[in-house]
Structure formats: structure tokens, C-alpha cells
Amino acid sequence: MTDLAPAVRFDLDDGIAHLVLDDPTQSANTMNPAFRSALTAAVDAVADQIAADPTSVRGVVISSAKKTFFAGGDLVALMATGPSGAAALFAEVEGIKADLRRLETIGRPVVAAIAGAALGGGFEIALATHHRIAVDGRYDLGLPEVTLGLLPGGGGVTRTVRMLGLQQALTGVLLEGRRFRPAQAREAGIIDEVVSSRDDLLPAAIAWIDAHPDAAQPWDRPDYRMPGGTPKTPALAAMLPAFPATLRAKLKGARYRAPRAILAAAVEGAQVDLETASRIESRYFVSLATGQQFRNMTQAFFFDMQAIGSGASRPAGIPPRPVTRLAVLGAGMMGAGIAFSAARAGIGVVLKDVTPEAAARGRAHAETLLDGLVAKGRLSAEQRDETLARITPTADVADLAGCDAVVEAVFESVELKHRVLAEAEASVLPGALLGSNTSTLPISVLSEGVENPADVIGIHFFSPVDKMPLIEIIVGEQTSDAALARAFDLAVQLRKTPIVVNDRRGFFTSRVFGSLVMEAARMVGEGIDPVAIERAASLAGFPGQPLAMLDEVSLELPQKIEKEAQRLAGAAYESSPAMQVLDELIALGRCGKAAGAGFYEYPEGGRKVLWPGLSDLFGGDVDVPLADIEDRLTFAMSNETIRVWEEGVLRTVPDANIGSILGIGFPPLLGGALQHVDGYEAADGTLGVAAYARRTRELADRYGDHLAPPTSLIEKAKTGATYR
């Protein structure tokens, strides 16, 4: 048996030392043990060659034999590293950085030749070279670690601060975790050159080497000055106190660890020499990588997103059938947003409403959105016109002829949806996909109104459609696998993230969102200060505040839903404690933002403010720990998610986590509604389902049995099982 080739190959050709990244055991290069040992061996080989014959090496080119340049750190291994592994992880990180530092000081020009994605640790390899060349294309470069709860620990903080200056490195690269296309990366100053094709890459690298025989990193030159100055520079020193305040405002006080660690590592590292700065960076990296927040965020935004993106919820064996012409029924804000998204994706759209004027208004809304993209430089005027031309407004159902898919976005009425779907089915192509954008009505009920119920499926968009990245696909009792596959593919065509759930009133997202806003309303009724409720939501990491979100959807909507649910159950309407709060506000005409008044006041030309009259109606002086308010909000959502799971509505844990984050604003730092349960970190440091169940019981004992642990949670706490 022969040994596998090394993960980094060393070849010497005409004075150019080629270091080729090519892990033989993986489809993408990562910083696994094979790479670490191969990197050391490759740098040793270059150094030994130079020592043996200084004239034999005139430069070094780092390239990749994979489709991507380098995928980054070994996240599977990092996820398995806890606090007890901190010392070993620190040694590993420092070892990789020592090899990269040896390479950039080896005495020869070093060029990164990039022809595919280079993110995180992969881009940090490129940063350790003297010149970075990328092939133009639709792939990503950058340091997105903050989005996974990490910081760039392979020299990314240290080097970008020295390349760009403290402020530009933080705001332009590190704190946003932005991904750049090659041309954008050049504009940002993190790529030096862009070539048009792979064939141009190596000649450009060699030409640069020959033109810069004495190349060195700027910070290794005696005349180096950090762009913008160091923290000791008076102008920068005067600005530094604002950095933490600005970051806190941007995060709305949420307890994200990674952005704060990035800021600290950058500022502290800018005050010392490069080697010391690198060690500071490594310590912050290890602190994050061995913490629970990193595991939560990486599980959701890498592994769960990867599971969804791989099509795990799409029926196998059904060939793709892209939508070519989409009928959108209803030209209100939602329908117009769907039409806009489809046209942007290159799909022809027939936008139908009851009158030509209403349909034209929907198209005009799409035009306004397109004009906004042109104003921001994200679209040319020609592209705007081409996109808008794909939308045909109409009031004539005959114009739906030739459509191979339908999405209705009309008012939430079973009778109305039956009628518009039946009309559309009679006009579109045979076997066309019949989608409903309902947020609450059972798909199995809606399918009763058409000839072919197997073609009916829920395709639930979120508002505003042009910005929200999620689609919730709901499978009815008679929905076929072919319809599910087509709906999944349509979501991907629209550049949305699809989750798939089973049918029941409210499905997954609407039910769990309702648990959040109604828990907030309930707390108002208990006399808890509304300001404290909204503030606690921000601290917990919610991107929106629950009372404000309730105003956005309107107070009347949950009231209608609850009345309808009780009517279908054969019961007289009886308000829950949360609904009693809404009933009182609705009786005063305070029905939400659209009515100009709800929990908030909406002064014309001013910012919304919580209505002072809430204290007269409900009090507001009940003293409750802020941590309890935070947990009541997050636990209400996670507990309802568990119940949805128990009922078989949810199909997979990734769907639960990604759906809760992207669709209904569950705090990303907790990793999603079920990851919050599996990865719960108690105040005493205990982790997992049992700790979550104990805290749930505490909350129920204090605030009511509606917060009591669900059945499966109790069982899993006993056995040590998880939901994953």
C-alpha cells in the first residue's frame, strides 16, 4: 500500500516553488491534521531548497488543485473541542501561524494564485503572501468567521489591521464578515490583482515575482506605518472610545461574543508588534472556539444550512423542472414582492388581481424596488427594464395560459383561496404547481377546492419578500412528491432558503412566532414594563422587538386566528391572558401600525415610541428579573417548537433551526429554536437538555403552566437524549 500524496504538494519548476493545496482525502481543502503537517513539510522544503542553492528559487506560488482555493478551518474538529481542549487548540493555531509567518519572511516573493472560493482560514493563507491574484468569477473571498461566532484566528485580524488600518479593517472586513467577489475584494484592498481566466493566473503570478524580487510584507519594512495610525496616534486615540459604543448600538446590546472579541483583538494587537498581536488573536480565537455560542451558531449557519442546501428535504429521484412562467394571484404587497423576486430570478410573471388598476399597482411596487437597486448601483437601468418587462399585470384569468406554476397571495379566506386556485387551475398548463402563500390555513383544506389536490402545496413567503430569505413549504395530506420537488426547486430558483414542514393550522413558523408575541403581550398584562420587555428582547439577540412586531402584523390578526380556531373546535370565544391585552387595545382603536396606533405611537415624521397609556391600562411596575423576561421570550418559542416537533409538523432539526432564525427572528446567537434546547447553557455552566428542562420548570413555577416543559422534553431530560 502506498502513502497518500501530501495535502500540500511542493514542486520546483524553472525557479518557481509551487505549493499546491490538494488534500487527497477531501473534496475541499481544510485546516485538518493532514494540512498542518503538510504545510510544515512544504515550507521546510522551500527553505531547504533556498539554503542548498539560493539561485534555484526566485519565488513561491500558492495555488489549489481543487475547485475552491481553501475552505477554511476544520469545523467538525472545532465543534468537538471544549474548554478542556483549549491549550491543545492554542498550540495548533500557533503552529499554523508560525509556518505562515516563516513563508512570508522566507526571503522570496510569495504569491497566492486564487481560482475559487477562499474563505476564513483559506483567505488567511492568502493574506500571508505578498501579492494576491484572483480569477474573475462568481465565487467568494473573505473572512466571514464572525457569522459563525468566531474571529479569524489564522492571522486575519492581525494582517488586515496592518494592511488597511484599524478602522477600515474592522468596518470593512472583520465585523461584518462580508463575502467579496474578486472585483469587490480588489476594491476593498484585500486582493491586489484580478485576471480574466485561469490561463492568465500563473503567468500573472510569475510576472509579478520577476518584477518584485525583493518583495516583503509592508509591516516587515523599516519605514512601515500603520494606515490611519495606531491607538497611540492622537487622531485615532480620540476616536477609540466610540468604537465599543458604536458596536453595542449596532448589536442592539445583544450578547454576541465574536464581534466584541474581534474589536478587542484588533485594538490590542494594533498597539504591539506583529508576533505579540498574533498571540493575542490566537487567545481570543480559542476563547470563542471552546465556547457554546460558537457551537450554536456554527451548527445553524454552517451544518444546518448545509443540510438544507444539499436538498435533504427534497424527494429523491425526481428530475428538476424549473418554472418558466409563474402566475401570481393577488397584487398586494406580498404578491408584488413575489412577482419582483421571480422576475429578478429570470422567471416570466403574470400578476393578476381583480382589476387592471390593482394589478398595475403591484407592478409599480416591483418597479419601485428595482429603482432602489439602480440607485444603489446594484442594477443597471437596462437590467431594471429587462426585469420589469417580465411582469405582466392583468385582471383577466385567461392571461394565465401557459403558466406552469401558481402562487396565490390573496386574503386569508378558505372560500376565496378555493375560488382563485380553481380559476387558475382551469387556465394554466395541465399539471401546473398550485401554491398557496397562506400563513395559517391548512393546505389539505385548500386542496379541496381544485380538481388535482396532489398539485397543491403551501409556499409561505415572509414579508418583505424582497428581503426575507426564507420560504416555508407546507406539504398537505394529498400533496405529491413531484409537487414538493417542484416547490423546493422554485424556492431555489428564487434564491431563497426552503424549509419543508407538514400540514396543520399555523404550520411551524406562524405558530412559533405567535408564541413569542403573545408571551410579550401576556407580560404587558401582568404589569411588566413594556420598555423592559422590548429591551430584554434586544439583549437576548432578537433582531426585532416583540411588541413592535405585533404592531407590524396587526393586533387583529391573532384575534381573528384565535376566534377561528375556537369556532372550528366548537367552542365559544374565550380570551387567553395575552388576548385580553389585545382585546382591550383593539377596543380603543389601537389595532397596530397600519391603524396608526397599537402598543406604539406612530407620530408623523417621527420615530415610534411605546404608548404611555399602557401603564394606565396594565400597570408596568411589576419587578421581574431581566433574565426571566429574556428566557420567557426564547423559551416560549423553543417550547412551542418542541410541541410542533411532537405533532409531526416539523420534519428535521435543520428546518426548525433555520426556519426559526431566518423566518421569525429567533436569536441567531442561540443557533435556532431546537439548538437552543440541545445546546442550552445555564447560569451555573451546566449544558444541554436537562439544564434547559430545569430552567423551563423554574419559569413555569413562577409565571404559569403555559411555560411548563413539553412531554418529550421531560423524557429527553431523563435519558440524556437530544432533539438532533
Catalytic residue from among 104, 145, 519, 534: 145
Beta bridge mates, 195: 135
What single DSSP character describes residue 570?
T
Please list the helix, strand and coil fractions of the chain in percent, rounded to the nearest 5, in that order: 55, 15, 35
Beta strands in 604-668 (DSSP E): 609-610
Residue with cell 458604536: 246
Cell 408623523, residue located? 604
Instruction: Please pick, among 92, 94, 104, 124, the residue that the annotation labels catalytic.
Output: 124
Contact predicate 409/433, CB 8 Å: no
- 3-state SS class at 463: coil
CA distance 269 to 230: 10
**Cβ-based burial of 1 (10 A; exposed 0-12, middle 13-18, buried ≥19):** exposed
Q: For residue 567, give the C-alpha cell.
A: 369556532
- 459 membership: H or E segment, kind and range: strand 456-461
Neighbours of 101 (CB within 10 A): 17
What is the rounded distance in angstroms from the CA atom of residue 185 to the CA atom of residue 232?
29
Closest CA to 113 of 135, 96, 97, 130: 135
Which DSSP state fits 598?
A: S
Does 386 qualify as catalytic in the annotation? no
Q: Which of 167, 191, 166 is nearest to 181 (CA)?
A: 191
Q: Which residue has the cell 413555577?
A: 701
81, 223, 395, 453, 707 from 429: Cα distances, Å: 54, 71, 18, 15, 49
| Peptide bond preceding 231 in cis form (omega within 30 of 0) | no
| 552 labelled catalytic | no
| Catalytic residue list | 124, 145
